[in-house]
Amino acid sequence: MALCLTGVGCTTVVGLDKPYHPVEAHGGSGGGGSGGGGADGVGGADGGGGADGGGGRGGGGGVETGSRCAGLPETCGPAGNESCCASERVTGGTFNRSNDPAFPATVSDFLLDRFEVTLGRFRAFVDAYPGSRPAVDAGAHPRIAGSGWYATWDEQLPTDRAKLLEGLSCDSEGMAWVWTDEPGANENLAMNCVTWHLAFAFCAWDGGRLPTDAELGYAAAGGAEQRPYPWSASPDDVAIDPDHAVYACNGSDVAGCVLEDVLPVGSRSPQGDGLFKQADLAGGVWEWALDWHADYAPDCVDCAVTTGGTDRVMRGGGWRSVAEALLLSTRDHRTPTNRAAGIGLRCARDP
Protein backbone atom coordinates (compact mmCIF):
# COMPACT_ATOMS: atom_id res chain seq x y z
CA MET A 1 0.00 0.00 0.00
CA ALA A 2 1.36 3.44 -0.88
CA LEU A 3 0.24 6.70 0.68
CA CYS A 4 1.17 10.30 0.10
CA LEU A 5 2.44 11.78 3.34
CA THR A 6 2.65 15.47 2.66
CA GLY A 7 5.23 17.50 4.50
CA VAL A 8 6.82 20.84 3.70
CA GLY A 9 5.62 21.25 0.14
CA CYS A 10 6.27 17.59 -0.62
CA THR A 11 4.20 15.01 -2.43
CA THR A 12 6.42 12.04 -1.71
CA VAL A 13 4.80 8.65 -2.11
CA VAL A 14 5.95 6.37 0.67
CA GLY A 15 5.41 2.63 0.44
CA LEU A 16 3.96 1.18 3.61
CA ASP A 17 3.68 -2.51 2.87
CA LYS A 18 4.25 -3.80 6.38
CA PRO A 19 1.48 -2.82 8.78
CA TYR A 20 2.63 -1.12 11.95
CA HIS A 21 0.34 -0.22 14.82
CA PRO A 22 2.22 0.79 17.99
CA VAL A 23 -1.05 0.84 19.92
CA GLU A 24 -4.33 1.15 18.11
CA ALA A 25 -7.88 1.40 19.36
CA HIS A 26 -10.20 -0.47 17.06
CA GLY A 27 -13.88 -0.86 16.43
CA GLY A 28 -16.81 1.02 15.02
CA SER A 29 -19.23 3.23 16.83
CA GLY A 30 -19.55 0.74 19.64
CA GLY A 31 -15.85 -0.11 19.77
CA GLY A 32 -14.22 -3.47 20.00
CA GLY A 33 -10.47 -3.43 20.60
CA SER A 34 -9.00 -5.87 23.04
CA GLY A 35 -9.24 -3.24 25.72
CA GLY A 36 -12.99 -2.81 25.32
CA GLY A 37 -15.04 -0.26 23.42
CA GLY A 38 -13.88 2.63 21.29
CA ALA A 39 -14.68 6.33 21.25
CA ASP A 40 -18.18 5.60 22.50
CA GLY A 41 -17.05 2.86 24.88
CA VAL A 42 -15.06 2.61 28.05
CA GLY A 43 -12.05 0.93 26.45
CA GLY A 44 -10.77 1.02 22.93
CA ALA A 45 -7.07 0.49 23.62
CA ASP A 46 -5.00 -2.54 22.74
CA GLY A 47 -2.31 -1.80 25.27
CA GLY A 48 0.13 0.68 26.71
CA GLY A 49 3.54 1.69 25.47
CA GLY A 50 7.10 2.44 26.37
CA ALA A 51 8.71 5.84 26.49
CA ASP A 52 11.76 7.54 25.13
CA GLY A 53 13.44 10.85 25.46
CA GLY A 54 13.66 13.43 28.14
CA GLY A 55 14.09 17.16 28.28
CA GLY A 56 13.38 20.10 30.48
CA ARG A 57 10.06 21.17 31.85
CA GLY A 58 9.47 24.38 29.98
CA GLY A 59 6.19 25.91 28.99
CA GLY A 60 4.18 27.54 26.25
CA GLY A 61 3.45 31.21 26.56
CA GLY A 62 1.21 33.83 25.05
CA VAL A 63 -2.54 33.35 25.23
CA GLU A 64 -4.56 34.07 22.10
CA THR A 65 -8.21 33.47 21.32
CA GLY A 66 -10.28 32.30 18.39
CA SER A 67 -11.44 34.95 15.96
CA ARG A 68 -15.15 34.35 16.72
CA CYS A 69 -14.95 34.63 20.49
CA ALA A 70 -15.82 38.30 20.98
CA GLY A 71 -18.56 38.63 23.55
CA LEU A 72 -18.40 35.09 24.87
CA PRO A 73 -18.24 34.99 28.69
CA GLU A 74 -15.04 33.87 30.40
CA THR A 75 -16.46 30.88 32.25
CA CYS A 76 -14.01 28.02 31.60
CA GLY A 77 -11.28 26.46 33.72
CA PRO A 78 -11.32 25.21 37.31
CA ALA A 79 -12.32 28.61 38.71
CA GLY A 80 -14.75 29.40 35.90
CA ASN A 81 -12.97 32.66 35.03
CA GLU A 82 -10.92 31.82 31.91
CA SER A 83 -11.71 32.39 28.26
CA CYS A 84 -13.08 29.20 26.74
CA CYS A 85 -11.35 30.31 23.53
CA ALA A 86 -7.80 30.70 24.86
CA SER A 87 -4.93 29.19 22.87
CA GLU A 88 -1.44 28.48 24.20
CA ARG A 89 1.77 28.40 22.18
CA VAL A 90 3.36 25.00 21.68
CA THR A 91 7.11 25.35 21.14
CA GLY A 92 8.10 23.09 18.26
CA GLY A 93 10.62 20.29 18.33
CA THR A 94 11.06 16.57 17.74
CA PHE A 95 9.49 13.65 19.58
CA ASN A 96 8.70 9.97 19.05
CA ARG A 97 5.16 9.32 17.86
CA SER A 98 3.30 6.89 20.13
CA ASN A 99 6.48 6.82 22.24
CA ASP A 100 8.23 4.67 19.62
CA PRO A 101 11.78 5.76 18.62
CA ALA A 102 11.27 4.19 15.19
CA PHE A 103 8.85 7.01 14.34
CA PRO A 104 10.26 10.45 15.15
CA ALA A 105 8.38 13.54 14.04
CA THR A 106 9.24 17.22 14.03
CA VAL A 107 6.62 19.93 14.37
CA SER A 108 7.02 23.69 14.07
CA ASP A 109 5.70 26.15 16.64
CA PHE A 110 1.92 26.36 16.68
CA LEU A 111 -0.94 27.44 18.90
CA LEU A 112 -3.32 24.91 20.40
CA ASP A 113 -6.56 25.72 22.20
CA ARG A 114 -6.23 25.43 25.95
CA PHE A 115 -9.65 23.79 26.15
CA GLU A 116 -11.66 21.41 24.03
CA VAL A 117 -14.31 23.27 22.03
CA THR A 118 -17.31 23.84 24.27
CA LEU A 119 -20.99 23.76 23.40
CA GLY A 120 -21.04 27.52 24.00
CA ARG A 121 -18.37 28.13 21.38
CA PHE A 122 -19.99 25.73 18.93
CA ARG A 123 -23.36 27.44 19.39
CA ALA A 124 -22.01 30.56 17.67
CA PHE A 125 -21.06 28.42 14.65
CA VAL A 126 -24.55 26.92 14.59
CA ASP A 127 -26.20 30.35 14.86
CA ALA A 128 -24.18 31.55 11.84
CA TYR A 129 -24.93 28.45 9.75
CA PRO A 130 -24.93 28.00 6.76
CA GLY A 131 -22.87 31.18 6.55
CA SER A 132 -20.23 29.44 8.67
CA ARG A 133 -19.55 26.77 6.04
CA PRO A 134 -15.90 26.92 4.91
CA ALA A 135 -14.62 28.16 1.57
CA VAL A 136 -12.32 26.04 -0.57
CA ASP A 137 -8.82 25.77 0.99
CA ALA A 138 -9.99 27.19 4.33
CA GLY A 139 -8.49 25.64 7.45
CA ALA A 140 -5.25 24.63 5.74
CA HIS A 141 -2.02 23.90 7.59
CA PRO A 142 0.48 26.48 6.27
CA ARG A 143 3.21 23.86 5.78
CA ILE A 144 1.14 20.98 4.43
CA ALA A 145 -0.02 21.11 0.82
CA GLY A 146 -3.55 19.93 0.14
CA SER A 147 -4.65 20.22 3.77
CA GLY A 148 -7.42 22.78 3.30
CA TRP A 149 -11.13 22.34 2.65
CA TYR A 150 -12.15 20.59 -0.57
CA ALA A 151 -15.25 21.58 -2.54
CA THR A 152 -16.24 17.91 -2.70
CA TRP A 153 -16.57 17.90 1.10
CA ASP A 154 -19.48 20.36 0.95
CA GLU A 155 -21.88 17.46 0.50
CA GLN A 156 -20.80 16.10 3.89
CA LEU A 157 -22.21 19.17 5.64
CA PRO A 158 -25.89 19.77 6.43
CA THR A 159 -27.65 21.87 3.82
CA ASP A 160 -29.17 24.30 6.31
CA ARG A 161 -29.36 25.12 10.01
CA ALA A 162 -32.39 22.91 10.60
CA LYS A 163 -30.56 19.88 9.21
CA LEU A 164 -27.52 20.77 11.29
CA LEU A 165 -29.60 20.85 14.47
CA GLU A 166 -31.08 17.44 13.68
CA GLY A 167 -27.62 15.90 13.71
CA LEU A 168 -26.25 17.39 16.91
CA SER A 169 -27.75 14.72 19.13
CA CYS A 170 -26.49 11.17 18.92
CA ASP A 171 -27.89 8.34 20.99
CA SER A 172 -25.23 5.70 20.47
CA GLU A 173 -25.91 2.93 22.96
CA GLY A 174 -28.00 5.28 25.08
CA MET A 175 -25.12 7.63 25.78
CA ALA A 176 -25.30 11.35 26.34
CA TRP A 177 -25.04 14.24 23.93
CA VAL A 178 -24.51 17.75 25.30
CA TRP A 179 -26.29 19.91 22.70
CA THR A 180 -29.35 21.90 23.76
CA ASP A 181 -31.33 24.12 21.41
CA GLU A 182 -31.31 26.93 23.98
CA PRO A 183 -28.36 28.05 26.14
CA GLY A 184 -28.32 26.35 29.52
CA ALA A 185 -26.23 24.39 31.98
CA ASN A 186 -24.18 22.57 29.33
CA GLU A 187 -22.41 25.57 27.76
CA ASN A 188 -19.02 24.70 29.31
CA LEU A 189 -19.14 21.01 28.40
CA ALA A 190 -17.01 19.74 25.52
CA MET A 191 -19.10 19.62 22.35
CA ASN A 192 -19.66 16.04 21.17
CA CYS A 193 -21.56 14.18 18.45
CA VAL A 194 -19.61 16.15 15.82
CA THR A 195 -18.44 14.59 12.56
CA TRP A 196 -14.91 15.14 11.29
CA HIS A 197 -16.18 17.49 8.58
CA LEU A 198 -18.11 19.60 11.10
CA ALA A 199 -15.05 19.75 13.35
CA PHE A 200 -12.92 20.91 10.41
CA ALA A 201 -15.57 23.45 9.39
CA PHE A 202 -15.81 24.88 12.91
CA CYS A 203 -12.07 25.34 13.30
CA ALA A 204 -11.77 26.98 9.87
CA TRP A 205 -14.67 29.33 10.66
CA ASP A 206 -13.01 30.21 13.98
CA GLY A 207 -9.81 31.24 12.22
CA GLY A 208 -7.96 28.02 12.99
CA ARG A 209 -7.60 24.47 11.74
CA LEU A 210 -7.67 20.90 12.94
CA PRO A 211 -4.35 19.87 14.51
CA THR A 212 -2.39 17.08 12.89
CA ASP A 213 -1.92 13.71 14.55
CA ALA A 214 1.72 14.65 15.17
CA GLU A 215 0.80 18.01 16.71
CA LEU A 216 -1.73 16.50 19.12
CA GLY A 217 0.76 13.80 20.08
CA TYR A 218 3.58 16.29 20.53
CA ALA A 219 1.53 18.54 22.80
CA ALA A 220 0.34 15.60 24.90
CA ALA A 221 3.87 14.19 25.18
CA GLY A 222 5.35 17.48 26.32
CA GLY A 223 7.59 17.39 23.25
CA ALA A 224 10.84 15.54 23.85
CA GLU A 225 9.82 14.75 27.44
CA GLN A 226 7.82 11.80 26.01
CA ARG A 227 5.29 11.87 28.81
CA PRO A 228 2.99 8.82 28.80
CA TYR A 229 0.20 11.10 30.05
CA PRO A 230 0.23 14.90 29.67
CA TRP A 231 0.90 15.38 33.41
CA SER A 232 3.51 12.62 33.82
CA ALA A 233 6.68 13.62 35.66
CA SER A 234 8.92 11.30 33.61
CA PRO A 235 8.76 8.85 30.68
CA ASP A 236 8.24 6.03 33.19
CA ASP A 237 5.48 7.73 35.17
CA VAL A 238 2.18 6.10 34.18
CA ALA A 239 0.23 7.16 37.26
CA ILE A 240 -3.35 8.20 36.55
CA ASP A 241 -6.31 8.98 38.78
CA PRO A 242 -9.61 10.89 38.55
CA ASP A 243 -7.94 14.04 39.90
CA HIS A 244 -5.96 14.34 36.65
CA ALA A 245 -8.44 13.34 33.93
CA VAL A 246 -12.11 12.80 33.19
CA TYR A 247 -12.34 9.12 32.19
CA ALA A 248 -14.03 5.82 33.06
CA CYS A 249 -17.42 7.46 33.49
CA ASN A 250 -16.12 9.36 36.51
CA GLY A 251 -15.65 6.09 38.34
CA SER A 252 -19.12 4.70 37.70
CA ASP A 253 -19.90 1.43 35.94
CA VAL A 254 -20.12 1.72 32.15
CA ALA A 255 -23.72 0.54 32.21
CA GLY A 256 -24.55 3.56 34.32
CA CYS A 257 -22.75 6.22 32.26
CA VAL A 258 -24.90 9.35 32.12
CA LEU A 259 -24.60 12.99 31.09
CA GLU A 260 -23.58 13.91 34.63
CA ASP A 261 -20.32 12.02 34.04
CA VAL A 262 -19.36 14.66 31.45
CA LEU A 263 -17.60 17.47 33.34
CA PRO A 264 -16.89 21.06 32.21
CA VAL A 265 -13.68 21.54 30.24
CA GLY A 266 -10.65 22.21 32.42
CA SER A 267 -12.19 20.56 35.49
CA ARG A 268 -8.92 18.70 36.09
CA SER A 269 -6.71 21.74 35.56
CA PRO A 270 -4.00 22.55 36.43
CA GLN A 271 -2.96 19.13 37.76
CA GLY A 272 -3.99 17.39 34.53
CA ASP A 273 -2.52 19.97 32.16
CA GLY A 274 0.24 19.20 29.69
CA LEU A 275 3.61 20.93 29.44
CA PHE A 276 2.20 23.64 27.20
CA LYS A 277 -0.80 24.35 29.49
CA GLN A 278 -3.55 22.61 27.51
CA ALA A 279 -6.24 20.93 29.62
CA ASP A 280 -7.91 17.59 28.87
CA LEU A 281 -5.41 16.38 26.27
CA ALA A 282 -6.13 13.04 27.91
CA GLY A 283 -9.73 12.37 28.85
CA GLY A 284 -12.80 14.51 28.38
CA VAL A 285 -13.55 13.65 24.75
CA TRP A 286 -11.56 12.05 21.95
CA GLU A 287 -10.30 14.77 19.60
CA TRP A 288 -10.39 14.63 15.81
CA ALA A 289 -7.04 15.12 14.03
CA LEU A 290 -6.48 16.28 10.45
CA ASP A 291 -4.96 12.99 9.30
CA TRP A 292 -6.37 9.99 7.55
CA HIS A 293 -5.52 6.90 9.59
CA ALA A 294 -2.51 5.04 8.17
CA ASP A 295 0.69 3.35 9.27
CA TYR A 296 3.36 5.79 10.41
CA ALA A 297 6.01 6.91 7.94
CA PRO A 298 9.51 6.39 9.41
CA ASP A 299 10.13 10.12 9.73
CA CYS A 300 8.19 13.32 9.20
CA VAL A 301 8.57 17.08 9.42
CA ASP A 302 5.27 18.97 9.75
CA CYS A 303 3.57 16.00 8.15
CA ALA A 304 0.04 14.65 7.87
CA VAL A 305 -1.62 11.92 5.84
CA THR A 306 -3.82 14.00 3.55
CA THR A 307 -4.80 11.45 0.90
CA GLY A 308 -6.29 7.98 0.92
CA GLY A 309 -7.75 6.11 3.84
CA THR A 310 -11.23 5.48 5.12
CA ASP A 311 -10.95 6.64 8.74
CA ARG A 312 -9.71 9.81 10.41
CA VAL A 313 -7.42 9.79 13.45
CA MET A 314 -8.60 10.66 16.96
CA ARG A 315 -6.50 11.06 20.09
CA GLY A 316 -6.72 11.52 23.82
CA GLY A 317 -9.37 9.16 25.10
CA GLY A 318 -12.65 10.31 26.55
CA TRP A 319 -14.99 10.33 29.49
CA ARG A 320 -16.02 6.71 28.83
CA SER A 321 -12.48 5.41 28.19
CA VAL A 322 -10.25 3.19 30.28
CA ALA A 323 -6.94 4.61 31.50
CA GLU A 324 -4.91 2.91 28.74
CA ALA A 325 -6.88 4.76 26.06
CA LEU A 326 -5.58 8.06 27.43
CA LEU A 327 -1.91 7.14 26.91
CA LEU A 328 0.21 8.92 24.30
CA SER A 329 0.89 5.49 22.79
CA THR A 330 -2.79 5.06 21.94
CA ARG A 331 -4.62 6.49 18.95
CA ASP A 332 -8.05 5.62 17.62
CA HIS A 333 -9.80 6.12 14.30
CA ARG A 334 -13.32 6.38 12.93
CA THR A 335 -15.02 7.12 9.64
CA PRO A 336 -15.28 10.90 9.20
CA THR A 337 -19.08 10.71 9.22
CA ASN A 338 -19.12 9.12 12.68
CA ARG A 339 -20.98 11.02 15.39
CA ALA A 340 -20.46 9.73 18.89
CA ALA A 341 -20.95 10.88 22.45
CA GLY A 342 -17.25 10.36 23.13
CA ILE A 343 -15.89 12.40 20.20
CA GLY A 344 -15.22 16.15 20.19
CA LEU A 345 -12.62 18.58 18.94
CA ARG A 346 -9.89 21.10 19.69
CA CYS A 347 -8.52 23.67 17.23
CA ALA A 348 -4.96 24.63 16.33
CA ARG A 349 -3.76 27.99 15.05
CA ASP A 350 -0.60 29.40 13.55
CA PRO A 351 1.58 32.08 15.17
φ and ψ at residue 336, rounded to 5 degrees? -65, -15
In this prediction, residue 255 carries a pLDDT of 64
In this prediction, residue 71 carries a pLDDT of 80
In this prediction, residue 258 carries a pLDDT of 82
Q: Is the pLDDT of residue 39 over 90?
A: no
Please tell me the distance from the alpha carbon of residue 148 to that of residue 10, in angstroms, as a whole number.
15
Q: In what helix (H) or strand (E) does residue 198 lie, and over which residues does it extend?
A: helix 196-205
Q: Which residue has the higher pLDDT, 42 or 154?
A: 154
CATH 3.90.1580.10 holds for 1-18+25-351: yes
Mean pLDDT, rounded, for 132-147: 98
Q: Is the pLDDT of residue 315 over 90?
A: yes
In this prediction, residue 56 carries a pLDDT of 34
% of the chain with per-residue pLDDT over 90? 71
Cβ(92)–Cβ(108) below 8 Å: yes
Task: Look up the pTM and report it.
Answer: 0.84
Q: Is the pLDDT of residue 102 over 90?
A: yes
In this prediction, residue 253 carries a pLDDT of 62
Neighbours of 309 (CB within 10 A): 16
**Alpha-helical segments (H) within the chain:** 119-128, 161-166, 196-205, 213-221
The pLDDT tens digits of the residues spanning 184-236 come to 999 999 999 999 999 999 999 999 999 999 999 999 999 999 999 999 999 99
Mean pLDDT, rounded, for 297-303: 90
| Pairing of β 104-107 and β 93-96 | antiparallel
Q: Is the pLDDT of residue 297 over 60?
A: yes
At 301, the amino acid letter reads V
In this prediction, residue 251 carries a pLDDT of 75
